[in-house]
């Protein structure tokens, strides 16, 4: 008897995805109805592509010519994987959506972002550029693809998460959120961060991607890449993340569970070549998505919460 016969893979039900999708669509329509200048954060990553799919179902009717009623917003560090930004542009163009890209490099030119040294990661500095974009475009609601299962600070967030006039989050002063009674009241200068897929897990996302045939950047599936092992992470060898003295690069079959700034995002060893294989692989993982792939979240247990208080998404 072979191993597969002894340990058959489970047959997964997708029935719960209908409820998750319905909730996400309801939230997106609630944002469109309750706010004057919302936007959808769109990086080209898998969670934002799932959001975009839900937004497409919520609003787009090709026969009536209706489109997503708010623009897409990307905060670009200038250090993103080109496969992701190319796919971001392709998908926005395909949908006929307005895409706004604000660059951390522009904040650096204005002097509002100052790096400690040239090689410092720009990831945390996205908060400054994001808050500048909110002020410039007067956004009052930002829809994002954060999920509670990603990281403990994100698990604290309400679905409609209030930000004060300084763009800051006060986790100890969050408003009650009962059933679907969302509190959308804001004062001038304040805004909300809204998370329609907050109740989804990484497995739900991949099951949805498989069921809906959601296209993703190629980085999400198995490919050959030069990496170096640093403290248990497979750091990609790139111009931005070169080898250190004494290190030797090895070629591994990897895929990315999450994509972001090149200087902070690592792939994982994986042979998964499509969404169905990623679903099966996700059933066996025991490390959170960000815990397995992000260098910046390992600085301390409270690093994400500290950044979110300062305006990070």
Q: Which two tokens stand for residue 252?
A: 């591994």
Q: What is the pLDDT along the chain (313 residues), one digit of tens a residue?
A: 444 445 566 777 888 999 999 999 999 999 999 999 999 999 999 999 999 999 999 999 888 888 999 999 999 999 999 999 999 999 999 998 999 999 999 999 999 999 988 878 888 899 999 999 999 999 999 999 999 988 777 788 899 999 999 888 888 888 888 888 888 889 999 999 999 999 999 999 999 999 999 999 999 999 999 999 998 899 999 999 999 999 999 999 999 999 989 998 999 999 999 999 999 999 988 777 766 666 665 555 566 677 777 777 7
Of the candidates 57, 54, 40, which has an alpha carbon nearest to the alpha carbon of residue 144? 40
- In this prediction the pTM is 0.88
Q: How many residues does the chain have?
A: 313
Calpha distance 145→81 (Å, rounded): 19
Of the candidates 197, 127, 198, 200, which has an alpha carbon nearest to the alpha carbon of residue 169? 127
Which runs of consecutive H residues, i.e. helices, occur in the chain? 3-6, 15-34, 46-59, 82-95, 104-110, 126-137, 152-155, 202-212, 275-282, 289-293, 303-309
CB 199 within 8 A of CB 23: yes
pLDDT attached to residue 156: 83
Q: 3-state class of 188 per DSSP?
A: coil
Q: Where in the chain is the domain with CATH 3.40.50.620?
A: 16-205+301-310
Q: 3-state class of 89 per DSSP?
A: helix
Q: 3-state class of 251 per DSSP?
A: strand
Match 């004057």 to its residue by tokens: 36
pLDDT attached to residue 196: 97
Fold (CATH) for 16-205+301-310: Rossmann fold (3.40.50)
């Amino acid at each position: 008897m072979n191993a597969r016969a002894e340990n058959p893979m489970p047959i997964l039900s997708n029935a719960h995805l209908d409820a998750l999708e319905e909730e996400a669509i309801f939230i997106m329509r609630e944002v469109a109805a309750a706010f004057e200048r919302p936007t959808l954060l769109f990086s080209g990553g898998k969670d934002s592509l799932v959001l975009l799919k839900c937004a497409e179902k919520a609003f787009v009717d090709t026969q009536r010519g209706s489109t997503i009623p708010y623009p897409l917003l990307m905060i670009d560090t200038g250090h993103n994987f080109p496969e992701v930004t190319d796919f971001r542009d392709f998908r926005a163009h395909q949908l006929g959506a307005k895409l706004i890209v604000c660059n951390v490099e522009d904040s650096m030119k204005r002097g509002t972002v100052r790096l400690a040294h040239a090689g410092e990661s720009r990831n945390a500095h996205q908060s400054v550029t994001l808050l500048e974009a909110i002020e410039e475009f007067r956004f009052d609601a930002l829809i994002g693809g954060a999920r509670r299962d990603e990281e403990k600070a994100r698990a604290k967030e309400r679905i409609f998460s209030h930000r004060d006039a300084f763009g800051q989050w006060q986790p100890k002063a969050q408003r009650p959120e009962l059933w679907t009674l969302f509190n959308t009241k804001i004062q001038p200068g304040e805004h909300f961060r809204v998370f329609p897929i907050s109740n989804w897990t990484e497995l739900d996302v991949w099951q949805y991607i498989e069921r809906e045939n959601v296209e993703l950047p190629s980085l999400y599936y198995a490919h050959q890449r030069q990496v170096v092992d640093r403290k248990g992470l497979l750091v990609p060898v790139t111009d931005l993340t070169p080898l250190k003295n004494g290190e030797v690069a090895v070629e591994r079959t990897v895929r990315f569970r999450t994509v972001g700034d090149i200087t902070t995002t690592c792939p994982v060893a994986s042979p998964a070549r499509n969404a169905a294989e990623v679903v099966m692989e996700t059933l066996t993982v025991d490390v959170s998505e960000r815990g397995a792939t992000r260098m910046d979240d390992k600085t301390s247990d409270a690093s994400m919460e500290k950044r979110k208080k300062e305006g990070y998404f």
